[in-house]
Every structure is written in C-alpha cells, then in structure tokens.
Amino acid sequence: MLQSGDDPRFIARRLIISASEDVGNADPRALLMAHAALAGVEFVGMPEARIILGQVATYIATAPKSNAAYLGINNAIAQVEQGVPREVPNHLKDATMDGKALGHGKGYLYPHDYPGHYIPQVYWPQPVPLYEPTDIGYEAEIQKRINLWKKQTYEKKS
C-alpha cells in the first residue's frame, strides 16, 4: 500500500479499525498499538513510519480475534431501533436537587462498598444480552468475570 502511494495515515486508520473490529477484546492492546501507530506516523513521518506500520500490522495479524464487541454494539443499536421502551430504575436516577423527593437514588447499592467492587442490582429492566464475550484471548478473562458476577451475592462491608 505504501509503495503504491497510499497515505500512511489512511493505513493507520485502517489498522485502528481492524484492531477494534477484528481483534476487539480478545487483545485490547491492539487498539492502543494501532492508535500509537497513527501518532507515530504523524510524528515520525516517512520513510521511518513504514516500520511502525509494519510492527502494528503484524501485531494485529497475529493477535487473537474476536468481533464480539462489534456484534454487541450492533445488538445495542438494534434494541434502540426496535423502540422497546425501558425505564431507568429509580435507584439509578439522579438523586440531586428534586430527584430525592421523587425517590431517585433510593436503594442504590454502591459497588465499591462490596467485595470485588460488584453488587448484583437491576441496571436494565428486562435485560437482553448485548455483549457476549468469546473464549478467545482476554475475552476468556472477561467471560470468567461475568460468570463470577452471575453467581455472586454479597453482604455489605462493615
């Protein structure tokens, strides 16, 4: 692409997209590296920028792949477009000003007051799965955490 005259910034842009769309949370560092490549291309310029682009292209090419985050955002958009109304639970509504008088914030459980900084509570009425991590790369760790959360019940820290 460089030899045929493509702008190195265009190549960096495509690497950023690939890092998110194709690698995703299987290796979240890919997105950081791709963004760093863009910064490097703009700072260093050609001909040395080819080295940066080559490093990031090979990193992305060999990284574990998952499009689960991409599918998740598409699922979220589909939920919005289907127009299924969902009320924000009162415990998540702003309790400042007049909100407290309306019952906003009542019953909210502050996750940082609980072991693991997580507490099961209703965040979204009639939840629909949006993001479903794979068992590939770092997403396997994300899935383990989600599975643990599903099993946990807590007593508030003293």
Q: What is the pLDDT of residues 71-92, one digit of tens each?
A: 999 999 999 999 878 888 999 9
- Answer whether 8's CB lies under 8 Å from 53's CB: yes
Every domain of the chain with CATH number 1.20.272.10 lies at 1-85
Q: Quick count: other Cβ atoms within 10 Å of Cβ 92?
A: 15
- Which of 20-29, 97-106, 136-145 has the weakest average pLDDT? 97-106
Residue among 23, 42, 22, 65 nearest 11 (CA)? 42
pLDDT at 157 over 80: no
CATH of 1-85, one of 3.40.50.620, 1.20.272.10, 3.10.450.50, 1.10.10.60: 1.20.272.10
Domain boundaries 86-151, CATH class:
mainly alpha
The pLDDT of 43-64, averaged and rounded, is: 97
DSSP reduced 3-state for 118: coil
Indicate the pTM of the whole model.
0.81
